[in-house]
């Protein structure tokens, strides 16, 4: 975890998190426009912090996303493709 921002480097990737767990955080982040750091600081649950961090990566450039997803043991092309599928399913494309 980055103590300055509380952002968590995910150990999971988009396809590993069920949509029903992603969707509430997507709504808060992109629908209600609540900043990622506020969302992360609003919970003490490590899983929720990780999901919020994953949601935050839905709209960053690929290089930044792959850097943050460095702890995920999957090929880069898989992570990129998975993110695009999740964005589509959540209506963010």
pLDDT digits (tens, 9 = 90+) for 23-74: 999 999 988 999 999 999 999 999 999 999 999 888 899 999 888 888 788 8
pTM attached to this predicted model: 0.81
Encode 46-83 in three state secondary structure: HHHHHHHHHHHHHHCCHHHHHHHCCCCCCCHHHHHHHH
> Can you read off the two tokens belonging to residue 79?
């992570």
Rounded to whole angstroms, how far apart are CA atoms 88 and 80? Answer: 13
pLDDT digits (tens, 9 = 90+) for 61-86: 999 988 888 878 888 888 899 889 88
């Amino acid at each position: 975890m980055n103590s300055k921002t509380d952002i968590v480097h995910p150990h999971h990737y988009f396809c590993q998190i069920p949509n029903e767990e992603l969707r509430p955080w997507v709504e808060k982040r992109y629908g209600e426009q609540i900043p990622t750091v506020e969302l992360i600081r609003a919970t003490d649950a490590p899983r929720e912090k990780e999901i919020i961090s994953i949601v935050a990566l839905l709209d960053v450039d690929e290089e930044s996303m792959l850097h943050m997803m460095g702890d995920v043991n999957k090929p880069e092309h898989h992570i990129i493709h998975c993110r695009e599928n999740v964005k589509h399913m959540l209506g963010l494309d």
